[in-house]
Amino acid sequence: MILDANAHVTPSGSWPAAGVDASVERLLAEMDATGVTRACLVGLPGLIGNEQVLELCARHRQLLPVGSFDPTAGDPDGLEARLRGEFLDRSFFGFKLHPRFGHYSLDDARVTRLFDELARWPNAPLVWICSYLYIPGVPLAKGPVELLHDRVVSYPGLDFVLAHAGGPDLLRLAFALRPCRNAWLELSYTLTDYLGSSVEQDLRHLCNHFEQRLLFGSDFPEVALPQALAAAQRVLEGSKPGAAEAILGGNLATLLRKRGFDAS
| Distance from the Cα of residue 197 to its chain's centroid | 23
pLDDT in tens, 39-66: 999 999 889 999 999 999 999 999 999 9
pLDDT at position 26 is: 99
Picking from 195, 184, 241, 242, the residue whose alpha carbon sits closest to that of residue 217 is: 184
User: For 155, how many CA atoms within 13 A lie in the half-sphere containing its CB?
Assistant: 22
pLDDT in tens, 175-226: 999 999 999 999 999 999 999 999 999 999 999 999 999 999 999 999 999 9
pLDDT of 74: 85
Q: In what order do the strands lie in the sheet with 94-97?
A: 2-7, 36-42, 63-68, 94-97, 126-130, 160-163, 183-186, 214-215
Q: Break the chain into its structural domains and give their ranges.
A: 2-258
Mean pLDDT in residue range 83-95 = 96
pLDDT at position 263 over 90? no
Looking at residue 194, what is its pLDDT?
97
Q: 137 burial class (0-12, 13-18, 19+ CB within 10 angstroms)?
A: exposed
Percent of the chain clearing pLDDT 90 (strictly above)? 93
> So what's the pLDDT on residue 29?
99
Q: What is the pLDDT of residue 264?
A: 85
Residues 211, 247: contact at Cβ < 8 Å? yes
Considering the domain 2-258, what is its CATH architecture?
Alpha-Beta Barrel (3.20)
pTM of the model: 0.97
pLDDT band at 133 (very low <50, low <70, confident <90, very high): very high
Angle at which helices 144-154 and 170-177 cross, to 10°: 20
